[in-house]
Chains A and B, each alone.
Chain A
Amino acid sequence: MLPVAEEIGSEALLRMFTTFPKTKTYFSHLDISARSEHLRCHGKKIVEALAEGARNISTLTTTLAPLSRFHAYQLRIHPTNFKLFNHCIIVTLACHMGDNFTPVAHAAIDKFLSAFSAVLAEKFR
C-alpha cells in the first residue's frame, strides 16, 4: 500500500473536507485544496503512520505514544473527527478496490482504525 500512500491519504482527506466541512477548521494553516502539495504531503504522512501501526499491531499503545501525545496536547482534535476520517479512508479504499474490498476486509480495517483512533485519543484527559 505504501507507494499509493499519498494517493489514498490525500483522497481520504479531500473526501472528509468535502463531506464534513467542519473538519476543515483544523487545517487553516494549510492549503487543502484538491491536489495541493500540502494535501498530498499530509495524506502521505497519515497513511504511513497507519502502516507503521499495522506493522506493530500488537503494541499500538507503545508504537503510537509520541503521536498520541501530539494529538492530545498540541493538535487537540475533537475525537469524534477520527471516526469521520476513518469512514473516509474506508470509502477511498472501497472506490479503489471495488469488490476486492470484501465485507471481511472492511470489518478488519474498521476494527484496526477504531483501535488506532482510540490510542490517539487516549491521553486527551
Chain B
Amino acid sequence: MVEWTAEERAAIQGVFNKLDYESVGRESLTRCLVVYPWTRRYFGGFGNLFNAEAIMANPKVAAHGIVVLQGLEKALKNMDDIKNTYASLSEFHSVKLQVDPVNFQLLSDCLTVVIATRLRTEFTPDVQAAWQKFLAVVVSALSRQYH
C-alpha cells in the first residue's frame, strides 16, 4: 500500500484546491495532443485535430479535459486505495478504449506542466515531488488491468 506523509497529502490537496478543471483539463489534453501528436490516434471522433490552433479551439477536447480531471478527483478522494478505486476505469481503458498505457505518462506530464504554468513559484520542488508521486500511483493503477 502507498504511504503518504501529512506534507504530501497537504501538497496534493493544495494543488487540487487551485485547479480550474475546465481550464487546466482543456489545456492538459491540448498539450498532450500537440506535443505528442501520435496520441491523436485515440481521438478519431473529435473532429479537427490537425494542428495546434484547431486542437486548442476544439470543444470536444475541452469537454474531455474536464472528464479527465473529474476522474483524477476520484483518486484524490480515495488516496489510500487508488488501486481498487481505479479497477473498472483501468479495465475500460484497456478493453474498450485500447490505450497503450505508455500514454498515461504523457498526459500526466502535460498536466504537471500546465499546473506549473498556473502555480509558478508555488509549485516548489517539494510540491512537484508530492504531485508526481500521486500521478505515478494513478498511472500505475490505470495500467493494472491490462492482460
Contact = CB atoms under 8 A, between A and B. Distances in A.
Interface of A: 11, 14-15, 17-19, 34, 87, 90-91, 94-99, 101, 103-104, 106-107, 110
Nearest to A12: B125
Interface string B104-147: 00000100111011111101011011001100000000000000
28 contacts: A11-B125, A14-B125, A15-B128, A17-B125, A18-B125, A18-B129, A19-B128, A19-B133, A87-B109, A90-B113, A91-B113, A91-B128, A95-B116, A95-B117, A95-B119, A95-B121, A96-B120, A97-B117, A98-B117, A99-B117, A103-B31, A103-B52, A103-B55, A104-B34, A106-B31, A106-B35, A107-B31, A107-B34
Contact of B132 (A14, A19, A110): A19
Contacts of A103: 27, 30-31, 34-35, 52, 55-56
A108 to B, nearest CB: 9
B128 A18 contact: yes
Interface residues of B, number: 25
Contacts, number: 60
Interface SS of chain A = helix
Interface of B: 27, 30-31, 34-35, 52, 55-56, 109, 112-114, 116-121, 123, 125-126, 128-129, 132-133
A24 to B, nearest CB: 12
B121 A110 contact: no
Contact of B34 (A94, A99, A106): A106
Nearest to A92: B116
Contacts of A15: 125, 128
B54 to A, nearest CB: 12
Contacts of A104: 34, 52
Nearest to B34: A103
Given A103-B34, A107-B35, A107-B52, A94 B116 contact: yes
A95 B123 contact: yes
A55 to B, nearest CB: 23
B146 to A, nearest CB: 21
